[in-house]
């Protein structure tokens, strides 16, 4: 498995995001209304503000994910980055690729100076919630007003030794 940093406006990134958003819209709980996709903006996912990765294996693209800097934590001023659009094609799931992608995004965020990572997800994505909890993320208070989210998670990072 390989990770390739790309601009979020590249044709490959847009194709992966289109597939991700289509899957989310099709599986979004009807009682929560309509899924509202938000395409990422390029400056937020360009180093050192963030990065957007495509995930590849020997058969081609299998997913994507990004991390971006957001406002610091109000109480402590800790540098926060947010995991966004972590997604794998269905055939790539259940083989550890999601965990490896999450770890790579954490590694890159740490290199950018992140002290804390946050993310939001929906209760309908049970496997994603399990991945985050088993990777050391804890439930936190909502840090955004994402209409698609029902759960928010955070994780303190170990500072990078320079």
Q: Read off the pLDDT of residues 93-109 as tens digits, 9 standing for 90 and up.
A: 999 999 999 999 999 99
Q: What is the mean pLDDT of residues 123-149?
A: 91
- Checking 68-75 for CB contacts under 8 A at 24+ apart, the result is 68/40, 68/44, 69/44, 69/112, 69/114, 70/118, 70/143, 73/116
Helix H or strand E segment including 132:
helix 126-134
Q: Read off the pLDDT of residues 39-80 as tens digits, 9 standing for 90 and up.
A: 999 999 999 999 999 999 999 999 999 999 999 988 888 999
Q: Tokens 């495509």 label which residue?
A: 54
Q: Is the pTM of this model over 0.85?
A: yes
* Fold designation for 2-156: Aminopeptidase (3.40.630)
Residue 161 has pLDDT above 70, yes or no: no
Q: What integer best gives the mean pLDDT of the chain?
A: 93
What confidence score (pLDDT) does residue 27 get?
A: 87
What confidence score (pLDDT) does residue 162 get?
A: 52
What is the share, in percent, of the chain residues with pLDDT greater than 70?
98
Give the residue among 91, 96, 14, 24 at the shortest CA–CA distance from 52: 14
């Amino acid at each position: 498995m390989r990770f390739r940093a790309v601009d979020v406006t590249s044709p490959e990134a847009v194709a992966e995001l289109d597939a991700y958003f289509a899957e989310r819209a099709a599986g979004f709980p009807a009682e929560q209304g309509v899924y509202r996709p938000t395409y990422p903006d390029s400056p937020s996912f360009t180093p050192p503000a963030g990065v957007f990765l495509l995930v590849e294996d020997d058969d081609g693209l299998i997913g994507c994910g990004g991390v971006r800097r957001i406002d610091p934590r109000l109480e402590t001023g800790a540098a926060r980055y947010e995991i966004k659009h972590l997604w794998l094609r269905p055939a790539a799931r259940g083989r550890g690729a999601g965990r490896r992608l999450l770890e790579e995004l954490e590694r890159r965020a740490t290199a950018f100076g992140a002290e804390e990572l946050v993310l939001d997800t929906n209760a309908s994505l049970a496997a994603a919630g399990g991945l985050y909890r088993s990777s050391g993320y804890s439930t936190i208070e909502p840090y955004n007003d994402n209409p698609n989210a029902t759960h928010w998670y955070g994780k303190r990072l170990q500072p990078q030794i320079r």
